[in-house]
Amino acid sequence: MTAQLIDGNALSRQLRANVSARVTALKAKGITPGLAVILVGDNPASQVYVRNKVKACEDTGMHSVLERWPATLSEAELLARVDALNQDTTIHGILVQLPLPAHIDAQKVIEAISPAKDVDGFHIASAGALMTGMPGFWPCTPYGCMKMLESIGYELKGKHAVVIGRSNIVGKPMALMLLQQNATVTICHSSTQDLKALTLQADVIVAAVGKRNVLTADMVKPGAVVLDVGMNRNDEGKLCGDVDFDGVKDVASWITPVPGGVGPMTITMLMVNTLESAERLVA
């Protein structure tokens, strides 16, 4: 192994300690930051994610509300819940866990969340703010990736960053954040021809596809920094990312593991966004 690990658990502990201290300071001013998490249906992965989000709130001293609804909840009923939480002054962040059941229009629900409480950063107002460099909430996973690069003192200016994946949640906002730091950015996706030719030019690679072994050692320039956003299971049922870690770790200079890499950072940045939403009330 030549690459150094970017430890998402250790960085999360540091950042969450800072969040806790700021929560304490805000409480002294009479405001307890509050996050509402809505889960519709019983998707097993979603249940784990929301449990971790609520636990992170408890650990950092924030108030949290978990609303669990059956998969039969109507779109109108869900929109009414979002509206009630928009009005609730004890709640500073609203998160509707995705995916939603097929009969509910997820984008319509996201657009119903007040942009001031859109701590997931999925509202079009948040996306527009990111695109134009205006203040707003950044989506937590790419935001966490940026914090990981910052933690190793990585200077993005003039570097070539290749993002594999173009989802609204990770790939597209990731590309915009890298661009804002003056990287030259290439976005690759399922129709990209000769992915390897592009990744071999990259100083930084972010893999965010949701498929194992999207990035193998022969696709990585020696010394590149590799961030793995994937969350998959291998044939033995073990958690693994999009990157062939065992191969790529011998070529890259820095690499994020799965588990213990980007995953914990996503929840940490959700805590940061929720705290900052509450802090805006006293700013």
Active-site residue numbers?
A: 53, 97, 120
Count of positions on this chain that bind ligand GUN (CB under 6 A): 7
Stretch that binds ligand GUN, among 75-83, 93-101, 180-188, 273-281 (CB under 6 A): 93-101
Q: For residues 169 and 248, which CB has a smaller minimum distance to ligand GUN in the complex?
A: 169
Q: Cis bond leading into 259, ω under 30°? A: yes
Q: For residues 220 and 275, which CB has a smaller minimum distance to ligand GUN in the complex?
A: 275
Closest residue to bound ligand GUN by CB: 98
Q: Which of 12, 60, 64, 97 binds ligand GUN (CB under 6 A)?
A: 97
**Least Å from the CB of residue 266 to ligand GUN:** 6
Stretch that binds ligand GUN, among 65-73, 89-97, 123-131, 222-230 (CB under 6 A): 89-97
Interface map 204-223 toward ligand GUN (x if CB under 6 A): --------------------
**Which phi-psi region, left, alpha or beta, contains residue 153 (left: φ > 0; alpha: ψ -120 to 50)?**
left
| H-helix segments, the chain | 8-28, 44-59, 75-87, 106-112, 124-132, 140-151, 171-180, 195-199, 245-248, 262-279
Q: For residues 96 and 205, which CB has a smaller minimum distance to ligand GUN in the complex?
A: 96
Of 113-142, which residues contact ligand GUN (CB under 6 A)?
120, 140
First to last CA, the chain: 47
Other C-beta atoms within 10 Å of 157: how many?
8
Stretch that binds ligand GUN, among 17-25, 92-100, 123-131, 148-156 (CB under 6 A): 92-100
Q: For residues 96 and 215, which CB has a smaller minimum distance to ligand GUN in the complex?
A: 96
H/E element, 183? none
Q: For residues 120 and 203, which CB has a smaller minimum distance to ligand GUN in the complex?
A: 120
Q: For residues 118 and 203, which CB has a smaller minimum distance to ligand GUN in the complex?
A: 118
Question: CA-to-CA distance for 46 and 247, rounded, in angstroms?
Answer: 30
Amino acid at 187: I
Question: CA-to-CA distance for 148 and 265, rounded, in angstroms?
Answer: 8
Q: Which of 62, 94, 96, 198 binds ligand GUN (CB under 6 A)?
A: 96
Interface map 258-277 toward ligand GUN (x if CB under 6 A): --------x-----------
Pairing of strands 232-233, 239-240: antiparallel
- The encoded tokens of residue 46 equal 């979603």
- Contact between 2 and 225 (Cβ < 8 Å): no
Q: Which of 5, 65, 66, 98 binds ligand GUN (CB under 6 A)?
A: 98
Question: Strand, helix or coil at 153?
Answer: coil
Question: CA-to-CA distance for 36 and 252, rounded, in angstroms?
Answer: 39
Which residues of this protein are in contact with ligand GUN, per CB under 6 A?
95-98, 120, 140, 266
